[in-house]
Chains A and B, each alone.
Chain A
C-alpha cells in the first residue's frame, strides 16, 4: 500500500499491438462469433477500440454475461434507446479497462413490444441507465429490481423522447 499522502503515479501507457492479426478488435469479434453464431447478425470494427455487434433480443443477457465473464468487460458505460420508424434500437456501450475497448452491442425491439431483459444483474451500473431509458423512451426491462421513473415525476403520462411526443401543455 502506498504511503498516505502520496498517490501512485503511472508511467506512459504500453504500446497497443499494431499488426492486424493481433488487433484486439478482431479477437473480440471472433470470440463473439464463436459463441453466438446465430445471434450476431452484423458486426464490424467501427474505429480504433470500438466494435459494433448486433444481437437478437433473446440472446442479450447471455451475451452480456459472456462479455463480462469470458472477455473481461467489467463495466457498462451507457445504454441508449433510439426510436426508428419501424423499431426501437437499444445500444449498450460496454467497456473494458484492461483491453481499452468498447463493444457497441445493439439489439432491436418492435415498436409495439419494447421489452428487453434487464442487464442490471450483470453490471450494477446498468440499473439507472435502464430506468432512464424506461422513463424517457418507454422501454420495459424485464426483471429489473426497480423499474420506476427517475428524471420525471412519478405520475407523468408520457415518454418524452419518443418522436410522437410534441410537448406543449
Chain B
C-alpha cells in the first residue's frame, strides 16, 4: 500500500498542547514518525539572563502549568548550590510536602487527560475533582492555584497556614481511598486494558540510551529515581519506595504513576509529622559568586535539571534548563513504530506531555 505522511497536530485532540507529530503510515501501520516542537518557545533561558535571581522564580513557574512548583523548587535548589547556601530544615520539609502534593496533582491531571483520551470520560471527572483537594491545599500554603511563586532562594516564602498539617493528613487518607477506586475503575475496564496492555513497548536498553527518565524509564524496568539514587533535600530522611514495572508498555506507565501517588501520600504524611519548628527562610545574598550551579530533581515527568553560570553580579550569566519531556518526545519514534494509528493517542498520552517545559 502507498505510504504517506500524516500531520497529527499542532491542533489535534491527542497533542495536549501545541506540537506536531508527523507519522508515516503504510495503511494503518506506522512506519516512521517525527515529532516537531517549538510552537511555544518563549525564550525563557534568554529572559533569565536579564533578570535578578529572585525575579526568575515566577518565570520558572511558567515552565509547566501542571507542576510549576517542582520547577521553581529546582531553580532555587540550583541557585543555592551556586551560592553555597544551607536551607533551614523546616523549609526543606515544607518543600518536600509541597512538591509531593504537586506530584499528586500533576499525576491526577495526567490521569484525567489520559482517561479522556481513551474514551473513559468518567475518569476525567473523578480525577479532576480529587485534584482540587491538593490544589486547595497548595493554595492555602502558597496563595495561588497553579503558578505558586512559593520557594525562595534560602527557604520558602512563608510558613504553613493554620490547620495545614491536619488538612494534609486528611487529604492523604482521602486520596488513598480514592486511588483504590480509580484502580477498580481503570483496571476493571476492558476497553482501557485493551488499549494499554502491550501497546507502545519500549525496551530498557533503548530507554537508557535515549536518555529517557521518569515514569517512562521506570515503566521499562530500570529502577532509577533521583529521590532515591541521588537524594536531594530531606528525601534520605523519608521512608518510601520507588516503583518500577518490567513490561515497558502504556499500562506499565499508568501503573507507575498510580504507585507513585500512593508513595507521595506516604511522603507527605512523614514530612508533615517530622517537620521541625523553627525558621523557614534565611536571607540569601543578592549576588551570586562566579561559578556554576547544578541542580537535579525528580520532576513528575522525569529528571529536571538546571545548570546556572554565575558571574558575580545579581543576574545569572547563563541558565540552561533540561526538560524531561523534550528528551522523551525525541524518542517517540521508538515507541510508535509498528503500532496502528489508533494507538498513537494511547502511546503519546502515556508520555504526560507538557509543552511549556519542552519548548521553554
Contact = CB atoms under 8 A, between A and B. Distances in A.
Interface in A114-169: 123-129, 132, 136, 149-153, 160-161, 165, 167
Interface stretch (B57-65, B274-282, B319-327): B319-327
Interface stretch (A21-29, A37-45, A59-67, A72-80): A72-80
A128 B358 CA distance: 11
A2 interface: yes
Nearest to A104: B294
Interface string B235-252: 000010111111100011
A11 B305 contact: no
Interface residues of A, number: 47
A87 to B, nearest CB: 13
A125 to B, nearest CB: 2
A7 B305 contact: no
B211 interface: yes
Interface string A53-91: 000000000000000000000111110101100000001
A152 B245 contact: no
B91 to A, nearest CB: 20
B249 to A, nearest CB: 10
Contact of B294 (A5, A46, A97, A136): A46
Chain B binding site: helix, strand, loop or mixed by DSSP? mixed
B271 interface: no
B310 to A, nearest CB: 12
B230 interface: yes
Contacts of A150: 37-38
A82 B309 contact: yes
Contacts of A75: 208-209, 211
State which size class the interface on B falls in: 35 or more
Contact of A152 (B41, B206, B331): B41
B318 A77 contact: no
A20 interface: no
Nearest to B260: A7
B259 interface: yes
A17 to B, nearest CB: 15
Contacts of B256: 7
Nearest to A162: B46
Given A7-B243, A9-B241, A124-B331, A160 B359 contact: no
A30 interface: no
B246 A1 contact: yes
A110 interface: no
Nearest to B241: A9
Contacts of B243: 7-9
A78 B208 contact: no
25 contacts: A4-B247, A4-B251, A5-B255, A7-B245, A7-B256, A7-B259, A9-B242, A9-B259, A12-B239, A46-B294, A49-B230, A74-B208, A74-B209, A78-B305, A78-B307, A78-B322, A80-B318, A82-B309, A97-B222, A104-B294, A124-B211, A125-B209, A153-B38, A165-B46, A167-B46
